[in-house]
Amino acid sequence: MTQITNCPNCGASLGAKLAFARMLDCDSCGTTILRDGEALQAAGDHGVMLDAPSLMAVGQTVMIGSKQYTPTGHIRFDYGAGWWDEFWCPASIAGPDGVWISVDEGDYALERKVSKRASPTVPKKLALGTEVMFDNETYMLSETDQATCVAFRGALPEVIALGEQHYYANFTSPKGSLLSLEVWDGGNAWHRGEWIDPWKIKAVT
């Protein structure tokens, strides 16, 4: 069977984005497209992404330390008191599994998904001060709340819907390492992260 590589709405070529994305926007008509195996289908609205100051942007390569990252996708989550952004940098550039770079009120963090085999057990209660062990380090829960997806753009490795709610819990180790848990209907995922000094993020021109 021949793989479909064109937008089901306007027919434009989707190019190399299909190699890693499960959800992407057509550059020609803006339609959000879902990929299910070799089948493509048009999805619904992708929300309004209000402009906000950021060192990250879809398609803009940045240098962090000695490595380059080029975000192909952008998700915005609203948690009531504000929002945070998550930028997806695919595996072809960022390593075997790709990375997420999160931006929250000027704070930047680089996060990698933890495999199911290596993931800590999800605590029965997500109360502040709860501890989990991961990679021989103790992490303490420092923040937990609920967030809602309000917009997304570009090519993403997973399917997400406007209005989808995630419960999140952020854990910190005494060394300052980060461990975050996201829980949604039907699943959860752990990510290990590290803070990034914004002054060390340089645009590649």
Whether 12 contacts 5, CB under 8 Å: no
The percentage of residues in the chain with a pLDDT greater than 70, rounded to a whole number, is 84
* Three-state SS sequence of 24-43: EECCCCCCEEEEECCEEEEC
Question: What is the rounded average pLDDT of the residues 132-157?
Answer: 91
pTM: 0.81
Nearest alpha carbon to residue 143 among 133, 132, 128: 128
Predicted confidence band of residue 178 (pLDDT cuts 50, 70, 90): very high
Whether 135 contacts 128, CB under 8 Å: no
Question: What is the rounded average pLDDT of the residues 115-142?
Answer: 92
| Rounded Cα distance, 76 and 67, in Å | 24
Query: Tokens for 180?
Result: 């975050």
The tens digit of pLDDT for each residue in 145-163 reads 999 998 888 888 888 888 8
Whether 67 contacts 89, CB under 8 Å: no
DSSP-assigned letter for residue 21: -
The tens digit of pLDDT for each residue in 60-80 reads 999 998 899 999 999 999 988
Predicted confidence band of residue 1 (pLDDT cuts 50, 70, 90): very low
pLDDT at 199 > cutoff 60: yes
How far, in whole angstroms, is CA 130 from its chain's centroid?
25
Whether 146 contacts 79, CB under 8 Å: yes
| Rounded Cα distance, 144 and 68, in Å | 31
pLDDT at 27 > cutoff 80: no
194: CB partners within 8 A, 6+ apart: 109, 110, 177, 178
Whether 91 contacts 161, CB under 8 Å: no
pLDDT at 167 > cutoff 80: yes
| Rounded Cα distance, 154 and 75, in Å | 9
